[in-house]
Amino acid sequence: MIRVLEPRQRPSWQVVTTGVLLLCAFAVPGVLLMAGQGEPAFNGVDTTWQAYAFTLHSPFWDGVNVVLNWAGYAGMLVFHVVLAISLVVWQRPIAAVFAALSGVAVLALTQLAKAVVGRDRPEGARVLSDTGSYPSGHVSTTTAFLVVLALLIGRWWMALTAVIGVIAMMISRTYLSAHWLSDVLGGACLAAGIVLLMWWRFRNICIKENAGADGQTIWAARASQRRQVAGQAK
């Protein structure tokens, strides 16, 4: 696993500035929606995209989006748990805490934002959904998991995979008429901003922890220690 994980050091100002800007990109539409004075400036884009999404419907894409509908919420929660446990097993407990806290923070703040903004969902949703359209929970949880992976793995191909995965989930949620376009954009910005700010606080110790790990599981490491103790006792 030590060959898989290679978190990179980035200047603090880059991480913090990007995180804050993403959170601002999430907050501004939310404030406009809460103001409730007429239609937001982006409403025309939302309705135009929604109309286009209707033209994409087909049995094949319906099947694909059933899978994405599960993976984007329940699936991502499972993936977060599996990732955190795997990091603990491979002697990276601080990285596990970072992954777990990022997922919990994103989920909690997404649900809080839904309740505060109180935006209605599009009509004709093809899946069951809770109340509150802004921001998208599926997109925020997907973004959180993939951004955490991209930061911990630290390679360009994981960053590219994360971008593709987030875009796919964004398209899926609008295809299913579960969200407006601005909802999925807001979910991605919220999650990415939170994870980056969490990474700003955790990155140095995670990088140090990863460099010191020897690629063994906790059980293999303990067995090796017992053998060394036994050898010294002879």
User: Mind listing the pLDDT tens digit for each residue in 69-120?
Assistant: 888 888 898 999 999 999 999 889 999 999 999 999 999 999 999 999 988 8
Is the separation of the CB atoms in 19 and 200 below 8 Å? yes
Q: What is the pLDDT of residues 146-161, one digit of tens each?
A: 999 999 999 999 999 9
Q: Please, what is the end-to-end C-alpha distance for the chain in angstroms?
A: 33
**How far apart (Å, rounded) are the C-alpha atoms in residues 47 and 41?**
12
Is 10 part of any domain?
no
Tell me which residue has tokens 């025309």: 44
**How far apart (Å, rounded) are the C-alpha atoms in residues 149 and 197?**
15
Is 8 part of any domain?
no
Number of domains making up the chain:
1
Is 3 part of any domain?
no
Q: Give the pLDDT band (50/70/90) at residue 166.
A: very high
Is 115 part of any domain?
yes
Any idea what the CATH number is for the domain that residue 62 is in? Answer: 1.20.144
Is 1 part of any domain?
no
| Structure-block tokens of residue 15 | 């991480």
Cα three-residue angle 122-131-179, rounded to 5 degrees: 30
Q: Say whether pTM exceeds 0.95.
A: no
* Domain containing residue 122: 15-233
**How far apart (Å, rounded) are the C-alpha atoms in residues 156 and 195?**
18
Cα three-residue angle 193-195-191, rounded to 5 degrees: 55
Q: What is the pLDDT of residues 13-43, one digit of tens each?
A: 999 999 999 999 999 999 999 887 556 778 8
Is 71 part of any domain?
yes
Is the separation of the CB atoms in 159 and 146 below 8 Å? no
